[in-house]
Each structure stands twice: as C-alpha cells, then as structure tokens.
Amino acid sequence: MEEKGIRVCQMLEEMLENQEISQEEEGKVRKLFEERENRRAEVRIAYDLLNLLQKEVRNEAAPVRMPGNQYGADLCNGFGTSLYQARLQARITQQQLEDVTGINQADISRIERGISNPSLATIQRLADGLGMSLSIDFI
C-alpha cells in the first residue's frame, strides 16, 4: 500500500507542477486518498479481529487434548468445562480470575480448554477465587 501512496503523491506533484490542478484540488485529492487508506486500514483491523475471534470460538468449542492417558484427558477436560461455566456464571473474565487467584491467565485458558491438568492446590485456588468450595467425592 505504501508504494501506491508514493505513486499517487508523485502523480499529484507532477500535475501540480504542470498546472493541471490547483493546490486546493491537490490538497483535496490527498485528503481523500488519506481517508480512503485509513478506512482500508480499519477494515483490515476489523477483519483480523474477526479471524482471531473465530479461532478463539473454535478453540472453545473443540478443546485440544494432550496425547497420553485418555482417562486423565477426560477428567481434565470435564473440570475445564466446569471451570469455564463457573467463571461465566460468576461473570468474570480469565484476567479477573488471574487477579484474584494469582494463576496466570494463559494457564487458566489451558485448564478451561482441557489442555492442562491442574494440581489440587491450583483447583483449590480457583474455587476460592470463584467464591466456591471444593469437594471431592469418590462414588
């Protein structure tokens, strides 16, 4: 895009030198070109954000599982889903849960997606951060 902008500016300068356009017209054309480029940049940013959101939604909908013990992966993913639902019910973000628990937001994300297998101490900190109690029952 920069190359195109340079060419437009050179063309405008030539037209101005050859008196094909006035300085006022040249200023208007430059302003229109700049506004167009700004809109294009905004559209690119919006498009990139949409792609990021789509990737995040796909990750939430289909958690990635680490290879290895399938029982452990199912247990971890079940807890991750429960943590995600509890966090939504508490109406707090992962970042806010990090602030309360001291557990890194990226780690919270990995737990929710079923990628990470948290320790009992971490689970207790998450429960405390959500204002919940932890109960383990063997049935």
Same domain, 86 and 47: no
Domain annotation covers residue 59:
no
Number of domains in the chain: 2
94: pLDDT strictly greater than 90: yes
Average pLDDT (102-113) is: 92
Q: What is the CATH number of the domain that holds 83?
A: 1.10.260.40
CA angle 126, 64, 119 (to 5 degrees): 30
Same domain, 35 and 74: no
Pick from 136, 73, 76, 67: which is nearest to 112 by CA?
76
Cα 59 from Cα 47, distance rounded (Å): 19
Question: According to the per-residue pLDDT averaged within each range, which of 20-29, 93-102, 130-139 is highest?
Answer: 93-102
Cα 107 from Cα 38, distance rounded (Å): 37
12 close to 21: Cβ distance less than 8 angstroms: yes
Same domain, 69 and 123: yes
Same domain, 115 and 76: yes
Q: Which residue has the higher pLDDT, 75 or 77?
A: 77
Q: What is the pLDDT of residue 73?
A: 47
Q: What is the pLDDT of residue 97?
A: 94
Structural domain for 125, as ranges: 65-129
Q: Any idea what DSSP says for residue 21? A: S
The reply to whether the predicted model has a pTM over 0.95 is no
Report pLDDT digits (tens) over 26-72: 888 888 888 888 787 777 787 777 777 777 776 655 554 444 444 44
Domain annotation covers residue 139:
no
